Amino acid sequence: MPREEDCLQSIREEVGTWLDSNWDPNRPLVEWREILLAGGWAAPGWPEEYFGRGFNPAQVAAVEQVFREKKALGAAAGGPGTLARGIVLAEGTEDQKTRYLRPLLTGQHKWCQLFSEPGSGSDLAGLSTKAELRDGRWIVNGQKVWTTSAHHADFGLLLARTDWDVPKHQGISYFLLNMRQPGIEVRPLKQMNGYASFNEVFITDAIVDPRDMVGAAGDGWRLASTTLSFERQKFVVTAQLEERYADETAPIYEEYRRELDELLKPYSWYPQRAGRVDLVLPRARQTGAIADPVLRQEIAKLICLDRATDLVAAAAEAHSRSGADRVVPAGSIGKLARSEISRQAAHVHTHISGMDALFDGPHAAENGLVAEVLLSSPAMSIAGGTDEIQKNIISERVLGLPKEARTDTGPFRDVPRNIVSG
Amino acid sequence: MPREEDCLQSIREEVGTWLDSNWDPNRPLVEWREILLAGGWAAPGWPEEYFGRGFNPAQVAAVEQVFREKKALGAAAGGPGTLARGIVLAEGTEDQKTRYLRPLLTGQHKWCQLFSEPGSGSDLAGLSTKAELRDGRWIVNGQKVWTTSAHHADFGLLLARTDWDVPKHQGISYFLLNMRQPGIEVRPLKQMNGYASFNEVFITDAIVDPRDMVGAAGDGWRLASTTLSFERQKFVVTAQLEERYADETAPIYEEYRRELDELLKPYSWYPQRAGRVDLVLPRARQTGAIADPVLRQEIAKLICLDRATDLVAAAAEAHSRSGADRVVPAGSIGKLARSEISRQAAHVHTHISGMDALFDGPHAAENGLVAEVLLSSPAMSIAGGTDEIQKNIISERVLGLPKEARTDTGPFRDVPRNIVSG
Amino acid sequence: MSLPLTEEQTHFQDVVTRFLADNADTARLRRQIELEAGYDRETWRRLCCELCLPGTHIPEEYGGHGFGPVEFGIVMHAMGRFLYSGPFMASAVMAAQAILIAGSEDQKRELLQDIASGSVVAALALDEWTRPDALGTRVQADRTDNGYRLNGSATVLVDAGVAELFIAAARGPDNSVSLYCIDAGASGVAVSSLETIDLTRRAARVQFTDATADILGVGDSLDIERLWDHLCVALALEMLGGAEELFYSTVEYMKMRVQFGRVIGSFQALKHRCADLLVSLELARAASQHALHCLASGEGDVYAPNMAKAMASEVYMDVARAAIQLRGGIGFTWEDDTHLWFRRAKSSEVLLGSPYWHRERMMQRIEELAHAA
Amino acid sequence: MSLPLTEEQTHFQDVVTRFLADNADTARLRRQIELEAGYDRETWRRLCCELCLPGTHIPEEYGGHGFGPVEFGIVMHAMGRFLYSGPFMASAVMAAQAILIAGSEDQKRELLQDIASGSVVAALALDEWTRPDALGTRVQADRTDNGYRLNGSATVLVDAGVAELFIAAARGPDNSVSLYCIDAGASGVAVSSLETIDLTRRAARVQFTDATADILGVGDSLDIERLWDHLCVALALEMLGGAEELFYSTVEYMKMRVQFGRVIGSFQALKHRCADLLVSLELARAASQHALHCLASGEGDVYAPNMAKAMASEVYMDVARAAIQLRGGIGFTWEDDTHLWFRRAKSSEVLLGSPYWHRERMMQRIEELAHAA
């Protein structure tokens, strides 16, 4: 134990010294990150041959802490780029690593994720975007949807079907798609709450060089699952998303805040989607609804749900840290509970607001935030895996009940699917 | 119209005159019914060759009315006997009609219905009671359950499987089983609410004469559906079940009330199963719960459900009388609604009663009726077709959604089924 | 109890439905939404002149057709089914009903004729749309030499500029609430648009500043509850129309949409959800039909309007939530029509009183009856 | 937040579970029910002497083991899981907790030792079991020369003849509610059995007629809410044990029962119902564990016991209803064990306060805190 702490301390000292001589808030952001990469501090959790030092998570956290103390900025932050970094590092060819990792870390390249399609929502593996090898190049045709930030992405993580004569999971391949080419058209996708946080991507004879296939043909489904598992990994030094260094005025911080804003913009309505439970008691006090015994019941139900869901998550966290193996996947349970919280919160907000629930816009309750809750909450039980999919997961994987009989196990060519008009 | 009324009037006069000269409350019940049969007034809706006069329902109702005015008793009342009369009359052989119809009308023979089995509840056609033809007689083995009044039945309407090599609906045959034989053992089946309204019937090498098969071998499933359709038919003159002629002291009324009591005994808890909505407001006023705004909401929800369910039933009745064809089967909808009413009523009764909900027995709330509601209401969503079966019916037959994929369409021998230990 | 339709009624239903299907489809609705025009004036003109719908339920002596509750129910159902966004509800139902209940004979004769023909669009202006007992708290009426003047602010359920006549509830000098008639063009009347959740039923704020007004009736206090009952039943019928349309379109979508190699309508959990919704719809439909007939006959359950509105509110929201969920991500897009019904369901849920309010009122009425008996 | 069990705790859980599985199975339970004996004295004796369970949570200085909340939670969960019908809850939890909260040092030393060892069975006698504010309305305590005398009637959650010592709540001469200690054999104490819905938790009426009593503590008014909180949390833990047992046995049944040629657990509508129940169970379990730790540490949400009891009540009833429904007709028979849990769920739902009462109390506490802040 003391030895580990000693080691962390020496890391802290080393990175501190390095930052003291290299960190300069007057440099342009990308230039600074080039220095960071050269110094080996952009991705200390990565292997040494790829800008890293092979640090474990505790060591990476120690580095991050020093960065934060010195208000030094790290590698480009989160978003689909995190997934791209993860998959290229883990499964990419040498050539792919050489070409993509550096601009991912400096933030010069933006990425997006091209998995979902209009015809395959819950059934991701039922995708029908087609990639055909013609004259030594992959020609891609199809349509993707729910793509965050596609409109300023340089590259996309693409799933496309390359073999129609095998069962659906086996015919999918994984590509790194250059978004800056004529065959790519990106259109904003407006949601019922008025935001356009996502895009539709229409792909018409887009070209992918064979060296931009990840893994082998048919590996796509496995690689897609691997990709999603990178959502929580932490081997790169990036600022916490909540730390904006708002008081700092040096140009590099300005540039950095623009980068963050662009990244976070699509998510601005997510707190409303979750139900804004935090607003319930203040608003109930303000409107007088807090004195209504019937609404008190509804508010209390909401608080119970919300509080207990946090407790379940905390317990799952404690169990996972301790390595104990409780069979309950807190993920699906929490996801279902949060759908219910959002529904109940929208219900409570409606009745707390009374007649004000009729109105929208900046002059409405809480500057329109309440209306935004009412119009966003339906997404909570759909996005990221519908309630129905979560219930399948729980009943089959946790409770061990039999799987739904499948009718889509034959060659994909013969499986019924939706006809989508682009 | 006037001609029809004239005709009814002349019927009223004829039966009135006949009763004036024949009705005598000092006769034994069966003897009176023999006279009734001989006079042709026991089953005026039946064909003339079988004790009847071929009357339509309005004419039968006119006859019943005169009987009621004169306090004359009709043929033996309701229960499984109604089904037996229906099926024998509609599908029986001449021989079966000759042997069974008369004692069914006089009440000398009691019947029971042997359809359900422990291994096949919702899936009635999955029954596995076996009938084999040996030495010119059917030998029956198996177990039946939920049999009302089996303990004093003389005969039973029996479904048994005679062919195991065809799909399940095709291998079932329909028999008239003599219950007074050594191979029949009847055991009372106690329910969770303490009543034993049903029986289990164990059938071990019971014998059925081939002339007691109804229809042909394999006709059983069709005949079972036909049987259940007789539940509401009204071609026989029987007293209304609610009319007990309680003030009449002549011996025939005593005998008749005993018959009724025996018939009705298994159903005494049915009003409690339905939730006793009628008790809710009086009890809420009595306990003071009526002043609780939260419970008022629950009571109001219950009243809404209950009232609207009656309205749906009345509308369905009006539509069916008018011959209009709305596609909604009021049966399944009403059944589901009544399950919900019973659940909500049990909930409301619990919270109206407060601490009294802990107690049972004659000293508890409403002489234990409230406890009986709490312990009987779970049956409402099971008996007569579970909620789940009703929802299948509605979604498939009304909404036209696809049927569940079947795995039991092959020869019954190969279909997975429950092993029941007798 | 709802009786089967006669042949004439079925024909009437067909005509109304076909007209709205042809002239008030969602493509047109969306154009109005984008233009912020509120409603399509040409469709409204034809609905008035060709179908004469605003006069459906207005008695013949006041220039209407004097049709019975069945025809009125047919119209309301169709209005809700197509989310009709013209001023039918505001003018022909709400304002006309207010005049019918509160107006003098002369006023009925004078005002209803134009409303029935559609030549005047009227709108009820209330300072409180969710509970009748709070009416008149924000609008005050004071006597003048030759009438009244109004001060305060109210809300109308049409966009600014649509209504030519306001029927406003206000508290008079004796503290009782009455209805007043105000020319929308009069001085002291300022109307401004409000942003609403329901894109197909706009609203506006009406500000009265010493606005000249005539009292409806002869000053006897208004039977607010009777008016509220009528409005609730009309709204409940409209809501059922919307809920049924959305429900059956969802069922059709489920028969077409494929996931995992089969139509999603074949998944039992989704089938059962639909079955549950159908039960609730049938119950709510029966309740609203019943309330309509109770009001028309003056007989039957006094709480029937509360029951109808409470049940319609809950089932419409249940259907609206399910309609989005069962469509998945597509149902959450702007381009898909589902949210237009969802928004109507959400605003109708609180309009004229939440299910909670109606259930409480229902219990009060039951207990009042019990004590009277 | 519930932490993973240590190795010792896991071992303790195994021992308790195995003992109850072997000695308090439903076959034995049913024998006690038929005999109307209330509980199996031999199992209780061994549970006291061999496992020393009644002393689990009683501090060492009063003769117990002084185990922490985790072990107490393990025991309560197991008690609920097996519907243990002996006087554990009545004596070791309810009466002991009352003495711990209200008793003087001397009383704790004197009374708890025997309760912890099981040599005395005590029972809390309350005139109101669903809301603490109504306590003491039906039992009156009056001063005598050398103590108190009690009059009135209360209920105990053990059968007549089981308890040797009653801890009764009564209203004293100064109108404040205190707890009193009464010898069950004293004159003026009459105990009669009550018929209960819950066959595995009997009850009896205790009638006091000038019964001699000692006051617990030194006459300072009782912290009723603190006692109630402790009882609620113990009950919530017990309820979760019962609900989880019933839930998992139902899931197992669904894997075995065949209809339409497939196990019923393969029908999606039933699978989803189970998934919903598991979510509710996990939430309620987290809430009850949390409440236990809040009480033990004196920190955290003050309303945690209300939340725990409200959630446990609802999920237990939901599971109980589903357990019968998913078994179909078989689940409604006497012979099937499901109704034993259903009855426990039903009585526990109202015992110590309904979900409605607890949610209201929770809101009061939240608002008290907000006003204090």
Strand partners, B191: D333
Percent over 90 (pLDDT), chain A: 79
Q: Which amino acid is at A40?
A: G
**pLDDT value for B153:** 95
Tens digit of each residue's pLDDT (9 = 90 or more) over C98-119:
999 999 999 999 999 999 999 9
**Which residues of chain A make contact with C354, given a CB cutoff of 8 A?**
350-351, 354
Give the gap in angstroms from C-alpha C273 to the nearest C-alpha of chain D: 9
User: CA A201 to CA A206: how far, in whole Å?
Assistant: 11
User: CA B150 to CA A224: how far, in whole Å?
Assistant: 63
- What is the residue-wise DSSP string for D270-295? HHHHHHHHHHHHHHHHHHHHHHHHHH
Tens digit of each residue's pLDDT (9 = 90 or more) over D247-280:
999 999 999 999 999 999 999 999 999 999 999 9
Mean pLDDT of chain C: 95
The sign of the dihedral angle between the CA atoms of D277, D279, D282, D285 is negative
Interacting residues of C181 by C-beta distance below 8 A, sequence separation 6+: C107, C111, C165, C166, C167, C168, C213, C214, C215, C216
Cβ-defined contact of B401 to C1 (cutoff 8 Å) = no
Q: Is A231 a catalytic residue?
A: yes
Picking from A304, A326, A336, the nearest residue to D279 by CB comes out as: A336
CB atoms within 10 A of CB A394: 27
- What is the residue-wise DSSP string for B373-395? HHHHGGGGGTTTS-HHHHHHHII
Q: Is C175 on the interface with D (CB under 8 A)?
A: no
Instruction: At D44, list the tokens.
Output: 């209780």
Rounded to 5 degrees, φ, ψ at D285 are -65, -45
Tens digit of each residue's pLDDT (9 = 90 or more) over A174-213:
999 999 999 999 999 999 999 999 999 999 999 999 999 9
Exposed/middle/buried for residue D193 (C-beta within 10 Å: 0-12, 13-18, 19+): middle
User: CA D252 to CA D239: how far, in whole Å?
Assistant: 20
For C167-200, b where at least 16 C-beta lie within 10 A, e where not — what string? bbbbbbeeeebbbbbbebeeeebebeebbbbbbb
Contact map slice: C 232-251 vs B, CB within 8 A:
251
pTM over 0.90: yes
Tens digit of each residue's pLDDT (9 = 90 or more) over A87-96:
999 999 999 9
Interacting residues of C36 by C-beta distance below 8 A, sequence separation 6+: C159, C193
Q: Are D205 and D192 in contact (CB under 8 A)?
A: yes
Cβ-defined contact of C2 to B391 (cutoff 8 Å) = no
Cβ-defined contact of C267 to D268 (cutoff 8 Å) = yes
- Is B320 a residue whose pLDDT tops 80? no
User: CA C150 to CA C152: how far, in whole Å?
Assistant: 7
User: CA C211 to CA C226: how far, in whole Å?
Assistant: 27
Tens digit of each residue's pLDDT (9 = 90 or more) over A119-155:
998 899 999 999 999 999 999 999 999 998 898 999 9
User: CA A354 to CA C174: how far, in whole Å?
Assistant: 28
Cβ-defined contact of A116 to C329 (cutoff 8 Å) = yes
* Token pair 């399950």: residue: B339
Strand partners, C87: none
Q: Is D1 on the interface with A (CB under 8 A)?
A: yes
- What is the residue-wise DSSP string for A267-335? GTTHHHHTT-GGGHHHHHHHHSGGG-HHHHHHHHHHHHHHHHHHHHHHHHHHHHHHT---S--HHHHHH
**pLDDT value for A422:** 47
Contact map slice: C 277-316 vs D, CB within 8 A:
none
Q: Is A289 on the interface with C (CB under 8 A)?
A: no
Percent over 70 (pLDDT), chain C: 98
Give the gap in angstroms from C-alpha C183 to the nearest C-alpha of chain A: 25
Instruction: At B14, list the tokens.
Output: 């004829």
State ipTM. 0.96
Q: Which amino acid is at C287?
A: A
Interacting residues of B357 by C-beta distance below 8 A, sequence separation 6+: B349, B350, B351, B365, B370, B371, B374, D197, D346, D347, D349, D350
Q: Are D84 and D20 in contact (CB under 8 A)?
A: yes
Q: Which residues of chain D have pLDDT under 50?
A: 1
User: CA B195 to CA B199: how far, in whole Å?
Assistant: 11
* Token pair 């002393």: residue: D55
Beta-carbon-side half-sphere exposure of residue B298 (alpha carbons within 13 Å): 22
**pLDDT value for B422:** 46
CB atoms within 10 A of CB B290: 20
Contact map slice: A 258-317 vs B, CB within 8 A:
293-294, 297
Strand partners, B199: B147, B188
Rounded to 5 degrees, φ, ψ at D197 are -65, -40
Give the gap in angstroms from C-alpha D272 to the nearest C-alpha of chain C: 7
Q: Are C56 and C68 in contact (CB under 8 A)?
A: no
Exposed/middle/buried for residue B325 (C-beta within 10 Å: 0-12, 13-18, 19+): exposed
Helix (H) or strand (E) holding B90: helix B80-91
Instruction: At C190, list the tokens.
Output: 């300022």
Tens digit of each residue's pLDDT (9 = 90 or more) over C150-188:
999 999 999 988 999 999 999 998 889 999 999 999 999
User: CA D124 to CA B397: how far, in whole Å?
Assistant: 57
Mean pLDDT of chain D: 95
Confidence band of B236 (pLDDT split at 50, 70, 90):
low
**Which residues of chain B make contact with C283, given a CB cutoff of 8 A?**
304-305, 308-309, 311-312, 337
Instruction: At B117, list the tokens.
Output: 């089995």
Interacting residues of C190 by C-beta distance below 8 A, sequence separation 6+: C206, C207, C209
Q: Which of D269, B315, B308, D318 is nearest to C280 (CA)?
A: B308
Q: Are D141 and D111 in contact (CB under 8 A)?
A: no
Helix (H) or strand (E) holding A156: strand A155-161
Give the gap in angstroms from C-alpha B374 to the nearest C-alpha of chain D: 8
Interacting residues of C371 by C-beta distance below 8 A, sequence separation 6+: none
Q: Is D269 on the interface with C (CB under 8 A)?
A: yes
Interacting residues of C137 by C-beta distance below 8 A, sequence separation 6+: C127, C128, C171
CB atoms within 10 A of CB A178: 17
The sign of the dihedral angle between the CA atoms of A78, A84, A87, A89 is negative
Residue of A nearest to B296 (CA): A294
Q: Is B407 on the interface with A (CB under 8 A)?
A: yes
Exposed/middle/buried for residue A270 (C-beta within 10 Å: 0-12, 13-18, 19+): middle
Rounded to 5 degrees, φ, ψ at B310 are -65, -40
Q: Which of D267, D266, D273 is nearest to D323 (CA)?
A: D273
CB atoms within 10 A of CB B55: 19
The DSSP output letter for A415 is S
Average pLDDT (C194-211) is: 96
H helix runs in chain C, sequence order: 7-23, 26-35, 41-49, 69-81, 96-102, 105-107, 113-117, 224-256, 268-297, 304-327, 338-350, 355-372
Contacts 24+ apart (CB under 8 A), D115-118: D115/D54, D115/D58, D115/D91, D116/D52, D116/D54, D116/D55, D116/D58, D116/D62, D116/D63, D116/D64, D116/D92, D117/D48, D117/D52, D117/D54, D117/D55, D117/D63, D118/D44, D118/D45, D118/D47, D118/D48, D118/D49, D118/D54, D118/D91, D118/D92
Mean pLDDT of chain A: 92
Percent over 90 (pLDDT), chain B: 79
Average pLDDT (A19-41) is: 95
User: CA C244 to CA A31: how far, in whole Å?
Assistant: 61
